[in-house]
Amino acid sequence: MEQSKQNIRVQLWIVVVALVLFSIKILAWYLTRSVAILTDALESIVNVIAGFVGLYSLSIAYKPRDANHPYGHGKAQFLSAAIEGTLIMLAGIFIIYEAIYHLLYPGGLKQLTFGIYLMAASALINYIVGYVAIKKGKSSRSDALEASGRHLQSDTYSTVAIIVGLLLIYFTGIQQMDSVVAIIVSLVIMIMGYRIARRSVAGIMDEADDKILEKLIALLNSNRKPNWIDIHNLRVIKFGNILHIDCHMTVPWYLNVHEAHLEVDALRALIEKEFGSAMEFFVHEDDCIPDSCPICTKTDCSVRQHPFSKKIEWKMNNIIPNKKHNASTSG
């Protein structure tokens, strides 16, 4: 609960910062009449809208599970990120339109020095707040918070590009550079928006997260216990900041219920130590069969029917299928 309150406070600060920076950029545009600055200001409107959407999604995502939402409300964060990514792409399209228009019909620029100072200040604030949001989002596994942070940092990069463009205009006097910079920035913004939207859709569709799976599989291989004869049918799903992990684990058939449960407890403790306690964990226990003997590393088994042949190294291609391993399983 405390984690959720902290995330909401960070998102609230993002909204406040977005409003302040939008005001700064509008002032910079009014002083300079630069289309590049105007496009950055328009992109900041997206920051404001996305900030409010993110704040709303976080307030929903951290609600406890109920009868209608047995897995909680965590996926609201994916919806927030999808909306944010879409808005960024739409802003990029509009920016290109405005930039081309001003490239064909350029207007006079003025007070570039003031504009550069204001944009530099907004870039610094954006980057710092974005860095904090990304760091907090990663530590709490909040996709909405991380998406907001990446959006702010992408805005920082575009602002820096605009500052460079303004400096070039200031020293060269080539005013068409204003529209060229705006077009380049808009393309970067659209790519960033696509990546945010793509990631959120993957979460909504329960797409496997290869990075998490690879990290989990490496953890299991390096901390394998003798009674963990086999693990298969491994699945990892993200519900906002909560990880749902389930698998089948083969243990010696002669373990009683209490002993088998202790193995599951050890597996859970190992995973929680690495991934945190915000997790749903389900393990189906399978008893070993004679075909399990050739891959079983347990040395003190009094009922072994076949000698040990080889150790199965768990990998992405053999731990995910719902099939027990045996000596013929490819490593």
Q: How confident is the model at residue 204 (pLDDT cuts 50, 70, 90)?
A: low
For domain 2-204, the CATH class is mainly alpha
Q: What are the CA-CA distances from residue 212 to residues 217, 219, 237, 248 (Å)?
A: 9, 11, 10, 18
Q: How confident is the model at residue 217 (pLDDT cuts 50, 70, 90)?
A: very high
Would you say residue 73 has pLDDT above 80?
A: no
Would you say residue 278 has pLDDT above 60?
A: yes
Q: How confident is the model at residue 271 (pLDDT cuts 50, 70, 90)?
A: very high
User: Mean pLDDT over residues 92-106, rounded?
Assistant: 80
Q: Do residues 245 and 279 touch, judged by C-beta distance below 8 A? A: yes
Q: Tens digit of pLDDT for each residue in 125-151?
A: 989 988 888 888 877 767 667 777 887
Give the amino acid at 119.
M
For the structural domain made of 210-319, what CATH number should be given? 3.30.70.1350
Q: How confident is the model at residue 224 (pLDDT cuts 50, 70, 90)?
A: very high
Averaged pLDDT score across all residues of the chain: 81
Residue 168 pLDDT: 86
If one counts every other C-beta atom within 10 angstroms of the C-beta of residue 302, the result is 5
If one counts every other C-beta atom within 10 angstroms of the C-beta of residue 293, the result is 20
Residue 186 pLDDT: 80
Q: How confident is the model at residue 80 (pLDDT cuts 50, 70, 90)?
A: low
Strand partners, 232: 248
Continuous segment of H or E residues that includes residue 133: helix 112-140
Residue 268 pLDDT: 93
Would you say residue 241 has pLDDT above 80?
A: no
CATH 3.30.70.1350 residue spans of the chain: 210-319
Q: How confident is the model at residue 12 (pLDDT cuts 50, 70, 90)?
A: confident
Q: Do residues 91 and 187 touch, judged by C-beta distance below 8 A? A: no
d(CA 217, CA 300): 26
CATH 1.20.1510.10 residue spans of the chain: 2-204
Would you say residue 220 has pLDDT above 90?
A: yes
Residue 76 pLDDT: 62
Q: Tens digit of pLDDT for each residue in 151-190?
A: 778 778 778 888 888 888 888 888 888 888 888 878 877 8
d(CA 188, CA 80): 21
Residue 97 pLDDT: 83
Across the chain, which distance is largest between two alpha carbons, in Å?
Answer: 89
d(CA 157, CA 81): 19
